[in-house]
Amino acid sequence: MPDRRADQATPEASVVTWREWAARAILLAVGAVVMYGLLPRFIDLWSAVPELRSIGWVALGSMAILQFASWWCAAELDRVALPRLSRFTATTTSLTANAVSRVVPAAGGALGVRTRYHMWAASGAGTGAAASAVAATTVISLATLFLLPVLTLGLAVVGAPTPRSLGWVAVGGGLLFVVLFGLGVVLLLTDPLLRKGARLIEVAARRFDRDITASSIEHERDRLREALGARWPRALAFSVGIWAFDYLSLVAVLVALDTLPEPGVVLLSFTAAKILGMIPLTPGGLGIVEAGLTGMLTLAGIAATEALLATLAYRIVSYWLALPAGLGAWLLFRRRYPGVPAP
Cα separation of 201 and 309, whole Å? 36
Q: Does residue 19 fall inside a structural domain?
A: no
Asked if pLDDT for residue 274 goes beyond 50, the answer is: yes
Q: How far apart are CA 154 and CA 144, in angstroms?
A: 16
Give me the helix-helix angle, 192-207 and 214-228, nearest 10°. Answer: 130
Q: So what's the pLDDT on residue 295?
A: 83
Nearest in space to 152 (alpha carbons), one of 296, 291, 303, 255: 296
Asked whether residue 12 is assigned to any structural domain, the reply reads no
Does some domain include residue 11? no
Find the domain containing 269 and state its range: 39-45+70-306+314-336
- Mean per-residue pLDDT, 313-317: 90
Q: How confident is the model at residue 72 (pLDDT cuts 50, 70, 90)?
A: very high
Give the mean pLDDT of 60-68: 92
Domain count, the chain: 1
**Does residue 4 register a pLDDT over 50?**
no
Burial class of residue 68, CB neighbours in 10 A (0-12, 13-18, 19+): middle
- Mapped onto helix, strand or coil, the DSSP state of residue 248 is helix
CB contact at 8 A, 245 and 67: yes
Identify the pLDDT of residue 2.
Answer: 42
For residue 326, pLDDT beyond 50: yes
The answer as to whether 103 is a domain residue is yes
Is residue 5 situated within a structural domain? Answer: no
Q: Is the pLDDT of residue 107 over 80?
A: no
Percentage of the chain lying above the pLDDT 90 cut? 12
DSSP state of 280: T
**For residue 275, is it within any domain?**
yes
Cα–Cα dist 91/101, whole Å: 16
Q: Which residue has better confidence, 163 or 237? A: 237
Whether 55 is in a domain gets the answer no
Inside any domain, residue 6:
no
Rg (CA), the chain: 20
